[in-house]
């Protein structure tokens, strides 16, 4: 627990950011779950519910890499504050939704929030290395992963309750409140970063704004494949994101057709992964500084894939639901190691001045890959079968993990000047 104590007790700024993330993410899950329920109640249409997913997926694809350019130009703390305030504001139109005729407002709100998220996420991911010591980075990223699972567990449960009690209006008010609390916490962060573009101010003043924007955007894309280590991580993210698209499309049919479970069983099985994620995040945060981040990523991915393959294949010999619950809980542990390892390696391979562009470009590529996985699963699920297609998802993690482990030397951290921390 020494690693955990070293980050939580000594790094005040990081502690504030972690608390803000927990509160706002709980609000995100609250709204996401409640909206899915309420939209179906208002429309009675699964197609209308699917529109929510589309509205949230389009911005990462179209805006993700471009947003990263601006994140690198702006102060990241300020970016997080402004996006949280705007997130609270764009929720207000939900108060006007009373029936199916106003459902378009819901789509606009989801679309706007997803656009704002493309600025917030890379700003947060890029700020973490500036708030903790280098040797604490794995622990910090593991804690970030853990709070996402806690928020998912708490927010999803509250979302259903609030939707049933107060409808969209109560959901909007509750989520807006979480954003405002997060603003107050982030505003307390003392760290201030020097703006890197000041060194090039004379050159930039001579160039056109559009030309500069294009150059910085192109640089972000190029950096994603500019070294052997980044190419390896970029490929890993693409392959596993395709698998996640497959999983999101076929897991409900898998529980129904292959396991014989109903809607209640599906909900419990999905939420049980958060339990393993919380435990895994705690373990990874406790021992993270003692393990190389690349090793955490590779081994975590390998074990994640093996557990998934067990989950997808066991219905061939048993029709019990118990192994599904066990696998979904267990898989959360290597999942937490994978996320913490991946984020840490990415942060160490990139310089502070270009992290936003790299994270934004990767997010955009992952969005395209997820959509490709969704389409692939929709086409092949009926033609080939649910289990064979889901096996592809597990194999992607297994192969990706093996490649990472075998080539982990290419993921050596990028040297970067030390920064001052406020305790």
How confident is the model over 146-195, as pLDDT tens digits?
Answer: 888 888 888 877 877 787 788 788 888 999 999 999 999 999 988 776 55
Q: What is the pLDDT of residue 206?
A: 45
Half-sphere exposure of 420 (CA within 13 A, CB side): 6
Residues 362, 349: contact at Cβ < 8 Å? no
Q: Is the dihedral of CA 398, 399, 402, 407 positive or negative?
A: negative
The whole-angstrom distance between residue 209's C-alpha and the CA centroid of its chain comes to 31
Determine the pLDDT at residue 302: 96
> Binning pLDDT at 50, 70 and 90, where does residue 410 land?
confident
Confidence check: pLDDT of 418 > 60:
no
Terminal CA-CA length for the chain? 19
Residues 220 and 360 sit within 8 Å (Cβ to Cβ): yes
Give pLDDT, residue 422.
Answer: 41
Token pair of 406 as six digits = 């075998």
Q: Say whether 320 sits in a helix, a strand or coil.
A: coil
Contact yes or no for 157/26 (Cβ under 8 A): no
In sequence order, the 6+-apart residues with CB closer than 8 A to the CB of 64 are 118, 360, 361, 363, 364, 367
Please name which of 82, 378, 133 lies closest in space to residue 250, comparing C-alpha atoms: 378
**Residue 268: pLDDT over 80:** no
């Amino acid at each position: 627990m020494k690693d955990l104590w070293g980050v939580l007790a000594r790094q005040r700024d990081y502690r504030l950011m972690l608390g803000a993330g927990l509160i706002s993410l709980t609000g995100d899950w609250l709204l996401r779950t409640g909206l899915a329920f309420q939209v179906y109640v208002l429309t009675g249409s699964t197609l209308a519910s699917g529109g929510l997913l589309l509205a949230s997926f389009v911005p990462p694809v179209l805006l993700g890499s471009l947003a990263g350019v601006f994140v690198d130009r702006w102060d990241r703390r300020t970016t997080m504050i402004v996006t949280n305030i705007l997130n609270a504001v764009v929720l207000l139109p939900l108060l006007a939704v009373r029936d199916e005729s106003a459902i378009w407002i819901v789509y606009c709100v989801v679309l706007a929030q997803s656009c704002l998220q493309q600025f917030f996420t890379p700003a947060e991911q890029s700020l973490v290395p500036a708030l903790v010591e280098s040797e604490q980075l794995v622990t910090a990223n593991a804690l970030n992963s853990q709070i996402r699972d806690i928020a998912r567990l708490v927010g999803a449960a509250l979302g259903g309750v609030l939707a049933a009690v107060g409808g969209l209006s109560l959901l909007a008010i509750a989520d807006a409140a979480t954003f405002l609390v997060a603003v107050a916490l982030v505003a307390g962060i003392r760290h201030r970063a020097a703006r890197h573009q000041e060194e090039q101010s004379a050159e930039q003043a001579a160039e056109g704004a559009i030309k500069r924007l294009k150059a910085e955007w192109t640089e972000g894309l190029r950096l994603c494949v500019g070294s052997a280590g980044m190419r390896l991580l970029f490929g890993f993210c693409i392959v596993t994101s395709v698998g996640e698209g497959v999983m999101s499309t076929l897991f409900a049919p898998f529980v129904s057709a292959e396991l014989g479970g109903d809607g209640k069983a599906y909900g419990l099985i999905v939420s049980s992964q958060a339990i393993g994620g919380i435990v895994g995040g705690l373990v990874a945060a406790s021992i993270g500084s003692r393990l190389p981040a690349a090793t955490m990523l590779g081994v975590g991915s390998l074990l994640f894939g093996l557990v998934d393959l067990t989950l997808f294949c066991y219905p061939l010999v048993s029709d019990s639901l118990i192994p599904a619950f066990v696998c979904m809980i267990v898989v959360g542990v290597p999942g937490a190691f994978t996320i913490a390892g991946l984020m840490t390696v990415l942060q160490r391979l990139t310089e502070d001045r270009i992290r936003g562009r790299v994270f934004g470009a990767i997010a955009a590529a992952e969005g395209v890959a997820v959509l490709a996985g969704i389409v692939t699963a929709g086409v092949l699920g009926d033609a080939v079968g649910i289990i064979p297609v889901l096996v592809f998802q597990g194999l992607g993690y297994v192969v990706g993990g093996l490649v990472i482990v075998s080539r982990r030397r290419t993921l050596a951290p990028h040297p970067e000047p030390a920064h001052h921390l406020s305790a």
